[in-house]
Amino acid sequence: MTEMVKTSTPDAAGASSAVIRLVDLSKSFGQQPVLQGLSLDIPREKLTTIIGRSGGGKSVLLKHIIGLIRPDRGQVLVEGTDMTRLGQRQLNEIRKKFAMLFQGSALFDSLSVFENVAFPLREKTDLGEEEIRHKVLEMLEQVGLTGMEQKYPSELSGGMRKRAGLARALVLGPEIMLFDEPTTGLDPLLARTIHDLIQETQRRYRFTAVMVSHEIPEIFEISDYVAMLLDGKIAEMAPPAQFVRTQNPVIQEFINGGRGALCPDPASAGSVAAASQEARRP
Ligand SMILES: Nc1ncnc2c1ncn2[C@@H]1O[C@H](COP(=O)(O)OP(=O)(O)O)[C@@H](O)[C@H]1O
Ligand SMILES: [Mg+2]
């Protein structure tokens, strides 16, 4: 990792502020190397967004974090516990800290919105009906779906399905939320409302969030940190304002959509974020 990464470490406490530490992670599928000695610290109670080329290994990275894929080499430390060494039972135990929102919202078509959100509570807790109802309605309110309890997923718009998926992911109060391209398939306006909702719920419930997204420059507005996956490693990680000033020409090209370096002069930094702020004005 570059000097910029080191100097941008969230705080002086260093390791203790990282909930998840990926250490020298390597993973190949057959002859194809995907992760190649990747290291990354995910700061506690922040929203960290991972960007990178399609097929570059972003989803594979998330699956390592939640223990769905085991690396060929390296460690996945979650609060200091190495996920790669756990048996199935211990893995299930530590997964209780996590919730994941995949690209599709993965709702149960045969269940109402209410029952979709209630499902994890019925499966994983001993809560009574009244408490379940209270929690489900609170979550639905939080994601802006009040009044939609009795609808079925097929009756919802794409944006509403994402909201319902988010409510279901949040209902058990996860410490860590993983989002894999949560705005895929939404038009830009809806994508923005889902981004805002993710940021809002992250601030409110203070979970640690790791998001994979291709929404550039929008993610610079909502993320606390941005990390770029490049050639199987994290090439850069920094707060957005610092990230857009990267001197790495490949990253500059990536975040400027192939239009070449936006700010070759570091003094003109922050232009991407500024431009995206501009774009948001009505
Ligand atoms: N279970 C798997 N078996 C074989 N190849 C896989 C598997 N999962 C991912 N890959 C390959 O790893 C590469 C990275 O995939 P992925 O993480 O999904 O990329 P993205 O950055 O678009 O999310 C791709 O070439 C993909 O085909
Ligand atoms: Mg992916």
**pLDDT score, position 277:** 45
**pLDDT score, position 259:** 56
**pLDDT score, position 102:** 75
- Counting the structural domains of the chain, the total is 1
Residue 79 banded pLDDT, cuts 50, 70, 90: very high
Residue 60 CA: which ligand 1 atom is closest?
Answer: 17
Pocket of ligand 1 contains residue 70 by CB under 6 Å: no
Please report, for the domain that includes residue 236, its CATH number: 3.40.50.300
Dump pLDDT digits (tens) for 258-275: 654 444 444 444 444 444
Alpha carbon distances (Å) from 134 to 147, 173, 240, 268 = 14, 14, 37, 51
Return the H-helix or E-strand segment holding 210: strand 208-212
How confident is the prediction for the chain on average, in pLDDT? 87
- Nearest in space to 74 (alpha carbons), one of 27, 20, 33: 27
Structural domain range at position 184 = 3-280
Structural contact between residues 120 and 114, judged by C-beta atoms closer than 8 angstroms = no
**pLDDT score, position 106:** 82
Backbone angles phi, psi at 79, to 5 degrees: 50, 40
Q: Which residues have CB less than 5 Å away from ligand 2 (the ion)?
A: 59
Looking at the DSSP assignment, which residues form a beta bridge with residue 75? 23
Share of the chain above pLDDT 70, in %: 85
Mean pLDDT across 78-102 = 92
Dump pLDDT digits (tens) for 34-71: 999 999 999 999 999 999 999 999 999 999 999 999 99
Give the count of alpha carbons within 13 A of 216, CB side only: 22
